[in-house]
Amino acid sequence: MPFDDLPFPASPFAGTVPAPAVDPSLIATLSAEFATRAAEHDAKASFPFENFERLASFGLPALVTPATAGGKGGGLRDALAVVNGIAAGEPSTALVLVLQYVIHNQLWRGSAWPEALRERIARSAATDGALINILRVEPELGTPHRGGLPATVARKVPGGWRISGTKIYSTGIPALSWLGVWARTDDVEPLVGTWVVPRGTGLAEQGIEVRESWNHIGMRASGSHEVVFHDVFVPDDHAGELRPPAAGWTVPDAVATAWMAALFSGVYDGIARSARDWLVSFLHARKPTGLNGASLATVPRLQEALGGIESLLLTNRILLRSLSAAVDSGTPPSQSDALLVKYTVTNNAIDVVARALEVTGNPGLSRDNPLERHHRDVLCARVHAPQNDMILTGAGRAALSR
């Protein structure tokens, strides 16, 4: 069932719901096309450049970029529909889009980045399909959500800065046009912030080394490699959000948290829906001799198992739709509640694929079928910050404070 085809009325927070910024049939078409290449990219851990060329041809990298900057001006509901649909076909592509949409949304919401830089980033997405990500995670530090200063250093020089340091899990690096680097200054009392490095004619020529280290079991096409910055020059007007360490890294507000929670969750819900669709096809097609020509779809035990999966997916759909409607109408939930949506949706998605594997046995685990790939991909839901322990601890503290 497509994301917006809910058998329920719209959220009471939604008000008048505008027409989608993207035709749902286009999303379905692109998803089906990307699915034909997903197994090959997974096997080779190759980056799906052709998928992003297709997305750019329809202006989708600029989906949430304001119309005044050449974009489509879409909201969270639109971004979620695209991410959820594309993830059903090729989830690594959808993951790169999540980061693109989250950052572009933040560019125009009280951003401390220079206005001219924001305009360039936005225009490049609309005209060239240019992609951006902010590289935060480091070998020693891990995720900044758990505290600590980055080891990556920005050193002031005439006309700009020189950046040196190492980042890991740099999703989308093969295709990024803009590399946001979370770093600290080399002052006695350092500031932390983001320095935006534009991709020139080639990364190596700029002193940027990409080490193709990404070798995970899931999301293998995401190009989340290690990146080393060797004294890379960044102009003065490409630095932003500089603040004392006591202020921490840029702490998301309620809207930013909701965007991240909804879109990351939408990726893994899309994977789970693809797993469910494969299971339905398998149950109809498999006709063991013991059933005298009938398919597995006629077995009550398997019908019950599929019903349990449908229950989990329905819960996800309602939560994601309500969250996106609330944000688009200007009434975002608390950060704690938004993150509980992420917790619930991603854990439901993992459970969906696990249940599908349980009832299909060897065929589900065979690399000849996509279910085992869906299983490997959906497990990556657990790594996106904040992780489950932080979400539940935060929710518990919020409840106690009330």
Q: Which residue is listed with tokens 């009280």?
A: 110
Q: Which residue has the higher pLDDT, 324 or 109?
A: 324
CA distance 47 to 171: 10
* Confidence check: pLDDT of 10 > 50: no
Compute the C-alpha angle 7/354/276, nearest 5°: 35
Locate all alpha helices (DSSP H) within 139-293, ordered by sequence.
Answer: 254-285
Please answer whether residues 108 and 152 qualify as being in contact, where contact means their C-beta atoms are separated by less than 8 angstroms. no
Both tokens of 6, joined, read 């809910």
DSSP letter (8 states) at residue 211: E
Q: Which residue has the higher pLDDT, 108 or 391?
A: 391
* Confidence check: pLDDT of 188 > 80: yes
Over residues 170-176, the mean pLDDT reads: 97
The one-letter amino acid at 231: D
Give the contacts of 126 (CB within 8 A, at least 6 positions apart): 59, 61, 62, 65, 69, 70, 71
Task: Identify the pLDDT of residue 9.
Answer: 40
Tens digit of each residue's pLDDT (9 = 90 or more) over 114-131: 899 999 999 999 999 999
Tens digit of each residue's pLDDT (9 = 90 or more) over 15-29: 456 789 999 999 999
Confidence of residue 110 (pLDDT cuts 50, 70, 90): low
Give the contacts of 285 (CB within 8 A, at least 6 positions apart): 295
Query: Does residue 235 have a cis peptide bond before it, meaning omega lies within 30 degrees of 0?
Result: no
Confidence of residue 328 (pLDDT cuts 50, 70, 90): very high
CA distance 252 to 287: 52
Q: Which residue has the higher pLDDT, 75 or 143?
A: 75
CA dihedral 286, 291, 293, 295 (to 10 degrees): -30
Tens digit of each residue's pLDDT (9 = 90 or more) over 362-402: 999 999 999 999 999 999 999 999 999 999 999 999 999 98
CA distance 11 to 15: 8
Please answer whether residues 119 and 62 qualify as being in contact, where contact means their C-beta atoms are separated by less than 8 angstroms. no
Radius of gyration of the chain from Cα atoms? 22
Over residues 169-179, the mean pLDDT reads: 97
CA distance 124 to 122: 5
* Confidence check: pLDDT of 52 > 80: yes
Over residues 32-58, the mean pLDDT reads: 98
What are residue 205's phi and psi, to 5 degrees? Answer: -65, -25
Task: Identify the pLDDT of residue 202.
Answer: 81
Over residues 30-43, the mean pLDDT reads: 98
* Confidence check: pLDDT of 204 > 80: yes
**3-state SS assignment for residue 310:** helix
Confidence of residue 143 (pLDDT cuts 50, 70, 90): low
Task: Identify the pLDDT of residue 203.
Answer: 85
Task: Identify the pLDDT of residue 262.
Answer: 98
DSSP letter (8 states) at residue 11: P
CA 62 to chain centre: 15
**Mean of the per-residue pLDDT values of the chain:** 93
Over residues 320-346, the mean pLDDT reads: 97
Task: Identify the pLDDT of residue 2.
Answer: 47
Confidence of residue 113 (pLDDT cuts 50, 70, 90): confident
Confidence of residue 109 (pLDDT cuts 50, 70, 90): confident
CA distance 212 to 207: 16
Using alpha carbons, list the distances in angstroms from residue 18 to 4, 55, 65, 323, 383.
12, 22, 17, 16, 34
Over residues 23-45, the mean pLDDT reads: 98
Q: How many residues does the chain have?
A: 402
Tens digit of each residue's pLDDT (9 = 90 or more) over 290-301: 999 999 999 999
Over residues 209-236, the mean pLDDT reads: 97
Task: Identify the pLDDT of residue 392.
Answer: 96
Locate all alpha helices (DSSP H) within 75-172, ordered by sequence.
Answer: 76-89, 91-107, 115-128
Please answer whether residues 126 and 74 qualify as being in contact, where contact means their C-beta atoms are separated by less than 8 angstroms. no
Using alpha carbons, list the distances in angstroms from residue 176 to 108, 131, 135.
20, 5, 11
Both tokens of 199, joined, read 């991709």
Q: Among residues 102, 116, 29, 31, which one has the least CA distance to residue 61?
A: 102
Tens digit of each residue's pLDDT (9 = 90 or more) over 224-252: 999 999 999 999 999 988 888 865 455 67
Q: Which residue is listed with tokens 């839901």?
A: 381
CA distance 242 to 297: 59
* Confidence check: pLDDT of 142 > 80: no
